[in-house]
């Protein structure tokens, strides 16, 4: 099986390709990405090698017996014991001892995972069908996205060598918060807060001053950060399999820079911000922008259309309808679609809401609408620029909301 692994992975990495391929099969070969990974994997490999020993022993005996004691017609099996008390006690006690070791070792490694240290930075995690949202202590939520398994998924950042506590809650059904590389997992419940913590130990990305982008650090480039993603592991419906997030681990300085970047959306033009939010806030999970069918109506060309609602009535898609659909999704459902969406009340600023409206307008089939959205977006930016210049650039960005 290991021969079927991509040959490049075998050769590119280490002087011992067989060892490398074997390591890569299990856990992607990275067993040290968080403070818990090494302990968890040590327990796993202890159990693995004990099991491998017994399995090989039993199977070798089985095959040897099957060959050696093949039946010869006309000959009977010799008389042999049908039980042997010392042997039976031996093979009952030895597994019991080994199992007890597994249990206690597993328990010892597990207990610290449930009690976060007092100085851990707290991050609020809100799960809903089908997206993750993290709110950092400075109010930041991620804006950038990356395609994982064909889905625009938010990029979250964590600081290296610093404990982080996640406080989890769900807006609808049960989800489960899982970062494979860190070996942490906890169910996200709709009726209570749950939490877990970890301390990432390997930097995966750094800020590139030249390109002004977050880049994978060279040590990670060969794919060791394959486990650095967030996935939902409790089945939650239609797009359960596309509820991802990328996890970047940054140096502590980079991490602060990132948080500041993400916290301030006022410098982004409306239409662009709407597009970013569409991806980062998970709208993309249900609403496409290329006309393809999803759980909710596509946004392409939806602006100005007249829709029939479930349960009668109809209306035009305009600013008010979009606001209502974001804040009170169940109020008027477009015919042919399920009542699936949760409310985004309190999760978007007014300007962000408006940005989504303008973004949808910019996706209109009507060229005039598109132009109007772009023009308004540019005009707002220009006005801001002007205001900032006239005030000597004091705090022009502070008025994030309320346009």
Residue among 109 and 254 whose Cβ is closer to other proteins: 109
Six token digits for residue 369: 């609408």
- For 241, other C-beta atoms within 10 Å of its C-beta total 14
**383: closest CA among 272, 265, 270?**
270
Residue among 149 and 375 whose Cβ is closer to other proteins: 149
- For 188, other C-beta atoms within 10 Å of its C-beta total 26
Residue among 113 and 362 whose Cβ is closer to other proteins: 113
Minimum distance between the CB of residue 400 and other proteins, rounded to whole angstroms? 33
Cα–Cα distance between 44 and 329 in angstroms, integer? 45
Whether the CB-CB separation of 10 and 17 falls below 8 Å is answered with yes
**Torsions phi, psi of 9, nearest 5?**
-65, -35
Q: What is the contact mask toward other proteins in residues 141 to 180, using x (rule: CB under 8 A)?
A: ------xxxx---------------------xxx-x-x-x
Six token digits for residue 325: 């659909």
Q: By CB under 8 A, which span of 212-220, 235-243, 250-258, 394-402 interacts with other proteins?
A: 235-243
Binding-site residue total for other proteins (CB under 8 A)?
A: 105
Q: Of residues 49, 193, 235, 309, which one binds other proteins by CB under 8 A?
A: 235
Residue among 54 and 139 whose Cβ is closer to other proteins: 54
Q: What is the contact mask toward other proteins in residues 27 to 56, using x (rule: CB under 8 A)?
A: xx-------x--xxx-xx--xx--x--xx-
In sequence order, the β-bridge partners of residue 231 are: 178, 244
Q: Of residues 20, 131, 186, 205, which one binds other proteins by CB under 8 A?
A: 186
| Residue 75 CB-density burial (10 A; 0-12 exposed, 13-18 middle, 19+ buried) | exposed
Residues 263-292 that bind other proteins (CB under 8 A): 290, 292
Residues 96-115 that bind other proteins (CB under 8 A): 96, 99-100, 102-103, 105-111, 113-114
Locate all alpha helices (DSSP H) within 215-310, ordered by sequence. 252-263, 270-280
E-strand stretches of 217-319: 229-232, 244-250, 306-308, 314-316
Residue among 110 and 382 whose Cβ is closer to other proteins: 110
Residues 306-335 that bind other proteins (CB under 8 A): 335
């Amino acid at each position: 099986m290991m021969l079927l692994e991509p040959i490049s992975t075998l050769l590119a990495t280490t002087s011992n390709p067989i060892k490398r391929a074997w390591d890569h099969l299990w856990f992607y070969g990275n067993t040290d990405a968080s403070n818990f990974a090494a302990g968890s994997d040590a327990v796993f490999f202890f159990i693995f090698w004990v099991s491998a020993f017994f399995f090989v022993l039993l199977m070798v005996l089985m095959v040897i017996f099957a060959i050696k004691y093949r039946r010869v017609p006309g000959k009977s099996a010799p008389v042999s014991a049908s039980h042997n008390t010392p042997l039976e006690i031996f093979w009952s006690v030895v597994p019991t001892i080994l199992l007890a070791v597994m249990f206690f070792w597993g328990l010892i490694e597990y207990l610290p995972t449930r009690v976060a240290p007092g100085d851990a930075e707290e991050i609020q995690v809100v799960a809903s069908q089908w997206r993750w949202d993290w709110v950092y202590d400075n109010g930041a939520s991620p804006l950038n996205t990356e395609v994982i398994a064909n889905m625009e998924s938010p990029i979250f950042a964590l600081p290296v060598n610093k404990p982080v506590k996640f406080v989890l809650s769900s807006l609808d059904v049960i989800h489960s918060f899982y970062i494979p590389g860190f070996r942490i997992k906890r169910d996200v419940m709709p009726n209570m807060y749950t939490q877990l913590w970890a301390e990432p130990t390997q930097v995966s990305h750094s800020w590139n001053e030249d390109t002004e982008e977050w880049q994978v650090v060279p040590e990670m480039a060969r794919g060791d950060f394959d486990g650095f993603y967030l996935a939902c592991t409790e089945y939650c419906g239609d797009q359960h399999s596309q509820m991802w997030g990328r996890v970047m681990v940054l140096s502590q300085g980079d991490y602060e820079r990132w948080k500041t970047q993400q916290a301030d959306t006022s410098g982004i033009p409306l239409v662009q911000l709407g597009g970013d939010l569409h991806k980062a806030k998970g709208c993309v999970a249900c609403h496409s922008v290329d006309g393809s069918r999803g759980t909710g109506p596509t946004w392409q060309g939806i602006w100005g259309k007249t829709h029939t609602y479930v349960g009668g009535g109809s209306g035009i898609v305009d600013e008010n309808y979009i606001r209502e659909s974001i804040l009170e999704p169940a109020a008027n459902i477009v015919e042919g679609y399920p009542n699936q969406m949760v409310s985004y009340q309190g999760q978007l600023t007014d300007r962000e809401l408006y940005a989504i409206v303008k973004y949808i307008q910019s996706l209109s089939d009507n060229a005039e609408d598109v132009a109007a959205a772009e023009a308004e977006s540019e005009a707002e930016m220009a006005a801001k620029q002007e205001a900032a210049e006239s005030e000597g650039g004091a705090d022009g960005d502070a008025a994030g909301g309320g346009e």
